[in-house]
Amino acid sequence: MRSLALPTGQVILVFLLLGLGGPLIMATIEHASFSAVLLLGFVAVIGLWLCRNTQVRLKDPSLKILGYFWLIKLGVTLFLLYVGWIPQLDPASSTAWGYDPQRYYIQAQELIDNNWSPDLVSLNYVGILYYYGAIFYFLGHNPVVPALINAFVTLLASLYLVKVGYEIKNRREPRDWTLAWVLLLPEVLWFDVMTSRETLLAALLLVTMLTTGRYLARTAPLSLSTVLTTSGLSALAIVAVRTSLVLPVLASIVLMMLLVKPQHQFRAMQRAVLAGAAAVLLIFAPLMAGYLGGYEFDVERTIDVATSASENIALISDVNWSENSIGMLLLPEGLIQSLLFLPPRMVLYLVAPLPNIAVPISDLLAGSWDAWQRLFTSLSSVINVLAIPYAVASFIQSIRRRQTNAAPLVLHIAYWVTFIAVAGGNLTIHERYRVMATPLLWGCAWFGARTCSRPQIYIASKYWYGLLSLGALFYLGYKGL
């Protein structure tokens, strides 16, 4: 037990967090403030224990940084709650009401008041309301509670990514701890604050895909029953929250079964069981979506909507395009255009909202969630631009070395399949959708930074920044700047 003792610095910081956060919550939150304070203490202490446990199990003293990052994350979460989210969470006083997470905050409580019947709610995937409704039912309806739960879920997923990354890399080196920065990725910090579904889905996708990959690559002694239970429950949660994402989940499982092969023979029966479970999930997904009260899910219809702008009713009715919108240029009509437009759409998803990064300080001080979101997504876009060469170099290296070590492909299949689904399945360029793939991108970039040679990174950087330069020239010419 002595090995799990917390460093003195972390003990001091947790008392500081509770000493400042507790009174702040009690003084400003009217409903269920005491339960929110208790929750803050619980997630802070349990989170520190989990971070310490991860450090000990992975035998890397440098990972003590996890605990500090966790406390920083909680502090930033409380800060963003009060300066950028709570000020515009009241429909009567908000100057920018109507954002999905704002509506989820209200509708989740309405679901409880309506005896858990979704009849009064018009929403495609109602599972997210049941999720937040359950949180509000047990812990009280205030904005602090879901933010702390979201932060804790992200912690669990981040620790899992660190564990899988260390398993795949295998050999320990001094700066391996940098994978822990996944806890402080800017847009993940921001979307954890809100009653959104992006970071929850990011965690569920990560756990579902990486658990299956660990089993197929044999990087961990997982039993088939453990994989079916863990990945199965996570996949069912994905079905409930955003049913269409079951398609990239199934695609990743199929690709891993085809490409990720351990050095020793893997029994065909085990792969057949995984394939059968994936088929059952595909059949069950539409039934579960309808049972929860959401719209009927149809695979063929979903693909049609994703490959044809004219078939996308929401796109036609809800989006106001600018006169010279680049995103509008990349709206596909048919499968061929979808495939051709996919690469530039992926680039747009990575760099948006760049180069429009101006955020008025007055809007930040006024508590505008839109301004704070633009700030944090812009910071993440800069990180994306810097990270992609490392991820691409690692991807190429993983393909070349697949015959001797297929484990790194687990990370890459999980990320690229998820990101392709995001860029190809959402015809409007909304930065929040990419959050579902953000932790996996960081994992791929970290692996490239830790294992690829300088020439490999240089070549990937040359092509990436060359592509961005051409895109910038096109942007300037098209926008008439």
Report the C-alpha gap between 430 and 99 in whole angstroms. 12
Give percent above pLDDT 90 in the chain. 59
Tell me the per-residue pLDDT of 67-114, one tens digit each, with 9 for 90 and over: 999 999 999 999 999 999 998 888 877 777 888 899 999 999 999 998
Most confident of 66-75, 220-229, 283-292, 294-303: 66-75
Q: Does residue 255 surpass a pLDDT of 60?
A: yes
| Structural contact between residues 297 and 290, judged by C-beta atoms closer than 8 angstroms | yes
Work out whether the CA dihedral 26, 158, 178, 356 comes out positive or negative: negative
Which ranges of 354-368 would DSSP assign to H, the alpha helix? 361-365
Average pLDDT over residues 372-379: 95
Please give the C-alpha separations between residue 386 and each of 154, 230, 389, 393, in angstroms, as whole numbers: 23, 33, 7, 13
pLDDT at 74 (0 to 100): 98
CA-CA-CA-CA torsion sign (212, 213, 216, 217): negative
Q: Within a 10 A sphere around the Cβ of 361, how many other Cβ atoms?
A: 8
Mean pLDDT over 278-304 rounds to 68
Q: How far is CA 144 from CA 101, 271, 282, 366, 435, in A?
A: 14, 43, 36, 20, 21
Task: Choose the weakest-confidence range: 98-102, 196-200, 354-358.
Answer: 354-358
Using one digit for the tens of pLDDT, what is the confidence trace for 404-425? 888 999 999 999 999 999 998 8
- List % helix, strand, coil for the chain (3-state, nearest 5): 75, 0, 20
The answer to whether 368 touches 88, Cβ cutoff 8 Å, is: yes
User: Residue 198: in which H helix or E strand, if any?
Assistant: helix 198-217
Residue 3 confidence (pLDDT): 61
CA-to-CA dists, residue 430 to 88, 205, 206, 327, angstroms: 21, 19, 21, 10
pLDDT at 48: 96
Q: What is the pLDDT of residues 387-404, one digit of tens each?
A: 999 999 999 999 998 888
Residue given tokens 């929860």 in the structure block: 292
Structure tokens at 290: 């309808």
Q: Which of 353, 343, 362 is nearest to 380 (CA)?
A: 353
Q: How many helices (H) and strands (E) does the chain have?
A: 21, 0
HSE at residue 199, side-chain half, CA atoms within 13 A, is 29
475 or 166, greater pLDDT: 166
Share of the chain above pLDDT 70, in %: 89
Angle between helices 369-400 and 408-425 (to 10 degrees): 130
Bridge partners of residue 333, in order along the sequence? 308
Above 90 in pLDDT, residue 318?
no
How many degrees, rounded to 5, is the angle at CA 416 between CA 410 and CA 418? Answer: 100
CA dihedral (248, 246, 432, 462) in degrees, to 10, reads -10
**pLDDT exceeds cutoff 50 at 1:** no
Q: What is the CA radius of gyration of the chain?
A: 22
CA torsion, ordered 72, 74, 75, 78, to nearest 10 deg: 160
422 neighbors 434 (Cβ within 8 angstroms): yes
**Dihedral sign of CA atoms 463, 468, 471, 473 in order:** negative
DSSP 124: S
Average pLDDT over all residues of the chain: 88
Residue in 413, 390, 389 with CA at minimum distance from that of residue 402: 413
Task: Report residue 308: phi and psi, to 5°.
Answer: -145, 115
Measured CA to CA, the distance from residue 128 to residue 242 in angstroms comes to: 8
Q: For 170-196, write each residue's pLDDT tens digit.
A: 888 889 999 999 999 999 999 999 999
End-to-end CA distance of the chain: 63
349 in Cβ contact with 422 (< 8 Å) = yes
Residue 129 has pLDDT above 50, yes or no: yes
Q: CA-to-CA distance for 203 and 235, rounded, in angstroms?
A: 11
pLDDT over 90 at 155, yes or no: yes
Residue 68 parent element (H or E):
helix 65-80
What's the rounded mean pLDDT across residues 128-134?
94
Q: Which residues of 368-390 are buried (b: 16+ CB within 10 A; e: fewer)?
A: bbebbbbbbbbbbbebbbebbbb
Q: Could you tell me which residues come within 8 angstroms of residue 315 by beta carbon, excluding any fewer than 6 positions away?
A: 309, 331, 427, 428
Which has more pLDDT, 89 or 313? 89
pLDDT for 316 equals 47
